[in-house]
Structure 1
Amino acid sequence: MEIPRREAMGGARAQIQVISALFMREMLTRFGTSRIGYVWLMAEPMILGTMISLLHSLSGKDLPNGLPTFLFYALGYTPFLMFRSIVNRGSGAVTNNISLLFHNRITLLDTMIARNLMEMLVCFTVCLLFIVMGMVVFHEVPHQPALLLAGWFMSALLAHGLAMVIGSAQVMMEWVEHLVHPFTYLLLPISAPFYMLDMLPQGTREALLWNPLVSIHELNRWAMFGDRINPYYDIPYVLAWILGLNLLGMAGLRVARPRLSLSD
């Protein structure tokens, strides 16, 4: 059976209602009625941050300028965890929600936004908890809170665009699905969530800055720790990636929808 296209509706208000309903569905699907899922979501980056901080402490070396190791690693990994989750889970929103598309009020973009918005808000909550912990335990107040929030948002937008591109590509080429998880794991060591570019040789810095995630992580660290960080980032370059991926992703979804059927 052919997937119906969306009919003309009440504009933005109707779309917000659809996305809100899909958002609640995603929350129940991901976590159910148990609180254990929510606890683990916060515990995973906290455990990782603690373990890396412990290993760093056992090495006998401190981070430059008295940076708190736990906060440094936790706030570096959590935004990357959000990026990886949006790309991994968001890209599957196309093929996993085909049955929802029987309703002509729901589009592929709606399902993608709802799923990725959930991942983004959960990550933001975890990061804010780390910020509060840093203020209470380490007496660390964010240097530029608004800029830090903007950095997290740029990471989410970048992941959203990439998820749309991959999700639409999976409709045409099923083998793409098998490359998503390895790709996001390979991104980890070259995205600078656990180290600063200032620690690296100039040639290595210039090579890594081709990855827009590196600029975002450098911006986040400066927004958190201020002049104790010597950052390297290129925001116009990041915004160009965000714009390009999101435009390409939305175009890909329009191409992908006619290729889907309710019998898939």
Structure 2
Amino acid sequence: MIGDVPRRADSSQVATQLRVIGALFMRELLTRFGTSRVGFIWLLAEPMFLALMISTMHWASGHGVGNNLPTFLFYAMGYTPFVMFRSIVNRGQNVINANMSLLFHRNITLLDLAIARNLMEAAVCSMIITLFVTVAAVFFDEWPHEPALLFCGLMMSALLAHGLSMLLAALTCFYEPLERFTHPLTYLMMPISATFYMLSMLPSESRDLLLINPLVHVHEMNRWAQFGDRVVPYYSIPYVLCWILGLNLLGMAGLRAARSRITMME
């Protein structure tokens, strides 16, 4: 007598989507870095090179950043998180057009595509930031003041970029020329995001105006998490969380609206 053959339990919808996102993540990773390591090297070299140049200019002029802050680490910790934000927004906006053929698969949604691509960008940039922090700690005795808060700051930057990239990807389906403006606009955000300066250096009027930008709060929080009482931070975590919630809800709603406008071509 043959007993019942054991069967694999049906996977839940959540488990299925997690596997889909994992597969898409590996696909994005191989697509970006599988055939060439030049892209990864440049992703590491760009913030290092810029931080080194700015640090050298300040050193040559005899002007540091004060309070015995390491000049190179100060600028690297400002620019590298901004690189993550810019990279997620710029590459995430094109996620629909770049992966149109994958939407033939029933289990793949626009949200899965956005999460996989943006998660890959965030993971790679986070590795670079971790490398900077580790080198500073081991070789220059610059240990993070609040490592957990620094990690939260990086997560907030990634989630802000994730929500904005989903919203832009959806809007691009309705107005395709929008894609041409995203790259220059993300560069223009750099001077108003406290990437290379602290708010404590500015007058109160300018400070209050810049604090409208949630990225300013994130950068100020990251600096305090790294340097502690050597800096005077200005940030509000609830304010950033409100922006994260709003952008991500708008982004998901936008992707849902864009799905009906996508025409699948054989």
TM-score by length of 2: 0.94
**Partner Cα distance (2:36, 2:176) in 1:** 33
Cα distance in 2 for partners of 1:37, 1:186 equals 23
**How far does residue 49 in structure 1 lie from its aligned partner after superposition?**
1.1
Identify which range, 161-170 or 22-31, moves more after superposition.
22-31
Q: Which residue pairs with 2:149 in the alignment?
A: 147
1:219 Cα deviation after fit:
0.3
Question: Which residue of structure 1 aligns with residue 107 of structure 2?
Answer: 105
Please show how residues 23-42 of structure 1 align to structure 2 within 5 Å. Answer: 23-42=25-44
Q: Which moved more, 1:37-46 or 1:73-82?
A: 37-46
For residues 11 and 165 of structure 2, the distance between their equivalents in structure 1, rounded to whole angstroms, comes to: 26
- AA partner of residue 163 (structure 1): S
Deviations 1:120-151 (A, max 9, x none): 00111000100111012321000000000000
SS at match of 2:67: helix
How far apart are the structure 2 equivalents of 1:155 and 1:246? 13
Between the aligned residues of both structures, percent identity stands at 61
Q: Residue by residue, what CA displacement relative to the aligned partner does 1:139-197 show, whole Å, maximum 9, x if unpaired?
A: 10000000000000000000000000000000011121111111101100000011000
Unaligned runs of 5+ in 1: 1-7
Q: Distance in 2 between matches of 1:129 and 1:189?
A: 25
Partner of 1:5: none
For 1:27, the aligned partner's letter is L
Match of 1:48 in 2: 50
1:138 aligns with: 140
What secondary structure does 1:65 align onto? coil
State the partner residue of 1:169.
Answer: 171
Aligned with 2:195: secondary structure?
A: coil
1:80 aligns with 2:82: yes
Unpaired stretches in structure 2, ≥5 consecutive residues: 1-9
Matched position secondary structure for 1:34 = coil
Asked which structure has the greater CA Rg, the reply is: 2
Equivalent residues of 1:98, 1:261 under 8 A apart: no
Q: CA deviation at 1:44?
A: 1.4
Q: Is contact 1:23-1:118 (8 Å) kept?
A: yes
Runs of 4+ in 1 over 6 A off after TM superposition: none
Q: Which has the higher contact order (CA 8 A, sep 6+)?
A: 1
- 1:258 maps to amino acid: S
Is residue 103 of structure 2 the alignment partner of residue 119 of structure 1? no
- Larger mean CA deviation between 36-45 and 222-231 belongs to 36-45
Match of 2:183 among 162, 181, 184: 181
**In 2, Cα distance between equivalents of 1:33 and 1:175:** 30
* CA–CA distance in structure 1, aligned partners of residues 47 and 16 of structure 2: 36
Two-structure CA RMSD over aligned residues (Å):
1.3
**What is the alpha-carbon distance in structure 1 between the residues aligned to residue 88 and residue 58 of structure 2?**
29
Aligned-partner Cα distance in 2 for 1:214–1:181: 19
In structure 1, what is the Cα distance between the partners aligned to 2:207 and 2:148?
A: 26
Q: How many residues align?
A: 257
Following superposition, the deviation at residue 9 of structure 1 comes to 6.9
Per-residue CA deviation, residues 198-236 of structure 1 (Å, 9 max, x unaligned), is 000000000000000000000000000000010001111
